[in-house]
Amino acid sequence: MSEPPLIELAHLTKRFGQITALHELDAVVDGKIIGLLGPNGAGKSTLLKCLLGLIPYEGEARVLGLHARTHGAEIRDRVGYMPEQEALLAGMSAVELCAYAGELSGLPRTEAMQRAHAALYYADVDEKRYQTIDGYSTGMKQRVKLAQALVHDPEILFLDEPTNGLDPRSRDEMLSLISELPERRGCAIVLSTHLLQDVERVCDRAVIMHEGKIRFVGSIDELRGARGRDSELVVEVKADAAKLAETLVAAGAKCEVTSPVALHVDLPADATSELVFRAGRDAGIQVRGLSLRRETVETAFLRVISETVKETSATGDGRPAKLS
Amino acid sequence: MKPGIADDEQPPKPTGTIHDLGYKRYIGTRRAASTRWRVIARQQISFAWKTWWRFKAALGLAVITMSIAGGMMMFASDRKSSLGRAQFFAQRLIDTTLPESIIWFCRAGFLASLTISATVIASDIQGGAFTFYFARSTRPWHYVLGKLVGLCALVALVVFAGPLVIACLRLGVSDTTEQLREILPIIPKTLAVGVLATLAYAAVPLGFSALLPNRRHALALWAAYYLIFGAMAYALGHVASPSIAALDLPRAVQAVTFHLFDLEFRGNDPEIPLAAALASLSIHITVSIGIVAYQVSRAQKSGVGGAS
């Protein structure tokens, strides 16, 4: 029997009085590292609460095949959650905290202690694990938060802004830890973040939310190439990109020279990449590379959001995006 | 240092690093969710025990009270036969030591509550601990029950254990087996008073700690309620109805004790009726647990997710 998808949503709606925080969400989300993206108030946190079975909702939400409404506790036993805000118990050492977290997730005491050490080792918390958490740096606290989310061997990890407040080196280390998790610990990750570079670096799939609706679900490649245009190219030449640009413009293409040896080309509607080679031959310029022009995740995200805004203003469906 | 190897190529010195214990998927059974409260209670006790110096003053006062009361009882019992006509006073001292000492155990209970229970929930709110608890399969009732049981165990050391030891001593200084059998009911009576006092000094400060999100404010509110409101209620009990004095927690516990031990209230003390004292204690305990349950349940719904 095939494994159920990580997350399934069907007509998921969440209202807070007059305000609809989540509006008829339908999606099937699977993958190893999934980026959950959206501006503030998009509904990410509300969705997370629904998925953990913490708040009532309309419609259906399943995590690992379990209904969040009726099996919230079982889901939370199989899911690890690393919160954005401080969520550590004062006066405890890292190892005590992680062992306690394990026991609260149903592990026997000895097992919880062993796994606490293993999780802290993975998170690279060394001998300081025996010191009280109160004196830890932000980076150390983030690592402990990751370890406490891992200790009970979850099948999915929800990471809420895991690199918040970290210096570049710690951020890099945290992202490395995250990217290795599916391979080394066999768990999938849902990464909720505002930092699109983080998503670009570690995620293989993305879910974009805006104003309580899901605007995109798919792979990062699909997101970056979501417009499906193979007429947007990046062309690398040996020299004199400007001259090639002139030839291409004369042939009806749009060009932007980005450096003496590279240019972005938008081909005319009925043209193929052959046009570039032909233009290169005519201009006496050696074409050294040709690739599809891909958006960065940031550009793609902004495009998806701006398309939503246009759509909303066109239909007059202007709902306040609050409550998450 | 290995010979023939350059300095920068030497293997790193062992520094006592912790070894990777490896990773294996957990295939054992998980404990039932209904056992989570025990984990929370145990953690509450072990944490207080680890920082037991905070608890020291309260425990010290309880031990001093117990020693003085026990000492007086032993002394009176020892000298009773040689006192002639004053035997009556010695016997009275032996009989009243336990109920009279209860108010002192209550004072020790208040000290204990200041250090262990009056800040529990506020500290958890302040530190974001509810996210830690409720992102797991812990339910609000596990948390409330776990905290309450843990605190009761700690408070019982102060307000329950001492009176019980004195009650046992009282049995020990009985003159005859007949008298021992006669006074045996002091054990269940002491147990009843101990349970009430334990619940009052664990649940009520816990309730106050759930009222405010700042631990210092919660502590101040509990202290003000106990000392100022209690003193006002006691004073009003003098001038108006004695039942009002039952709103003062230690006086309510004392009143229950006096009624159970058939002791007369001292001349200037308001004679608090047993029903009023029991009602006051029950309401205090019930309302406090209600507040804690409500706040914790609310925190569960809003604690996870960050923005709320």
The C-alpha atoms of residue B44 and residue B129 are separated, in whole angstroms, by 13
Question: Which residues, 6 or more positions from A210, have their beta carbon under 8 angstroms from its beta carbon?
Answer: A38, A39, A42, A304, A305, A308, A321
> A106 and B19 in contact by Cβ < 8 A?
no
pLDDT tens-digit map of B114-170 = 888 888 898 888 888 888 898 888 888 999 999 999 999 999 999 999 999 999 999
Cα of A149 to nearest chain B Cα, Å: 9
Handedness of CA B228, B234, B238, B243 (dihedral sign): positive
- Backbone torsion region of residue A219, taken as left when φ is above 0, otherwise alpha when ψ lies between -120 and 50, otherwise beta: beta
Residue A321, pLDDT score: 35
Among B33, B47, B306, select the one facing A45 at the smallest CB separation: B306
Beta-carbon contacts below 8 Å between A and B: 129
Tokens standing for residue A164? 């918040």
Name chain A contacts of B45, Cβ cutoff 8 Å.
Answer: none
Cα of B123 to nearest chain A Cα, Å: 8
Question: Which residues, 6 or more positions from B204, have their beta carbon under 8 angstroms from its beta carbon?
Answer: B113, B222, B249, B284, B285, B288
Sheet holding A156-160, edge to edge: A79-82, A156-160, A188-192, A33-37, A205-210, A213-219
**Of A89, A58, A53, which Cα lies nearest the Cα of A71?**
A53
> B31 and A108 in contact by Cβ < 8 A?
yes
What separation, in Å, do the N-terminal and C-terminal C-alpha atoms of chain B show? 57
Cα of B129 to nearest chain A Cα, Å: 5
| SS3 assignment, position A6 | coil
Average pLDDT, chain B: 86
> A86 and B127 in contact by Cβ < 8 A?
yes
Q: Minimal Cα distance from B43: which residue of A?
A: A100
Tokens standing for residue A300? 């793609």
Residue B280, pLDDT score: 95
Beta carbons of A161 and A190 less than 8 angstroms apart: no
ipTM for the whole predicted complex goes beyond 0.90: no
Mean pLDDT of B285-291: 95
Beta carbons of A52 and A34 less than 8 angstroms apart: no
- In this prediction, residue B12 has a pLDDT band, given cuts at 50, 70 and 90, of low
Name chain B contacts of A106, Cβ cutoff 8 Å.
Answer: 30-33, 36, 137
Name chain A contacts of B32, Cβ cutoff 8 Å.
Answer: 106
Residue A48, pLDDT score: 86
Residue B306, pLDDT score: 38
Among A89, A107, A118, select the one facing B22 at the smallest CB separation: A118
Cα of B14 to nearest chain A Cα, Å: 13
Residues of chain A predicted below pLDDT 50: 228, 316-324
Name chain B contacts of A104, Cβ cutoff 8 Å.
Answer: 36, 39-40, 133, 136-138
Q: What's the pTM?
A: 0.80
Q: What are phi and psi of B26, to 5 degrees?
A: -75, 120
- In this prediction, residue B305 has a pLDDT band, given cuts at 50, 70 and 90, of very low
Q: Minimal Cα distance from B34: which residue of A?
A: A106
> A104 and B33 in contact by Cβ < 8 A?
no
Beta carbons of A106 and A78 less than 8 angstroms apart: no
Name chain B contacts of A126, Cβ cutoff 8 Å.
Answer: 17-18
pLDDT higher at B135 or B285? B285
Name chain B contacts of A74, Cβ cutoff 8 Å.
Answer: 137
Biggest alpha carbon–alpha carbon distance for chain B: 99
Mean pLDDT of B176-188: 90
Contact B308/A at CB under 8 A: yes
Name chain B contacts of A117, Cβ cutoff 8 Å.
Answer: 18, 21
Residue A109, pLDDT score: 92
> A54 and B21 in contact by Cβ < 8 A?
no
How distant, in Å, are the alpha carbons of A108, A215, A256, B35, B303 from that of A295?
Answer: 49, 17, 15, 51, 37
pLDDT tens-digit map of B28-49 = 888 888 889 999 999 998 888 7
DSSP summary character for residue B229: I
Among A40, A104, A127, select the one facing B138 at the smallest CB separation: A104
Residue B104, pLDDT score: 92
Residue A317, pLDDT score: 46
Among B20, B30, B305, select the one facing A106 at the smallest CB separation: B30
Name chain B contacts of A40, Cβ cutoff 8 Å.
Answer: 307
Residue A309, pLDDT score: 67
Whether the pLDDT of residue B59 is over 60: the answer is yes
Mean pLDDT of B267-296: 92
Beta carbons of B227 and B251 less than 8 angstroms apart: no
Q: Minimal Cα distance from A186: which residue of B?
A: B25
Residue B147, pLDDT score: 94
pLDDT higher at B50 or A286? A286
Among A54, A104, A185, select the one facing B39 at the smallest CB separation: A104
DSSP summary character for residue A204: S
> A85 and B304 in contact by Cβ < 8 A?
no
Contact B68/A at CB under 8 A: no
Name the percent of chain B lying above pLDDT 90. 48
> B25 and A186 in contact by Cβ < 8 A?
yes
Residue B14, pLDDT score: 54
Among A55, A148, A152, select the one facing B301 at the smallest CB separation: A55
Name chain A contacts of B132, Cβ cutoff 8 Å.
Answer: 83, 87-89, 101, 148
Question: Which residues, 6 or more positions from B190, have their beta carbon under 8 angstroms from its beta carbon?
Answer: B98, B163, B164, B166, B167
Question: Which residues, 6 or more positions from A23, have their beta carbon under 8 angstroms from its beta carbon?
Answer: A13, A211, A212, A213, A319
pLDDT tens-digit map of B232-243 = 999 998 888 889
Name chain A contacts of B143, Cβ cutoff 8 Å.
Answer: none
Name chain B contacts of A89, Cβ cutoff 8 Å.
Answer: 124, 127, 129, 132
pLDDT higher at B87 or B262? B262
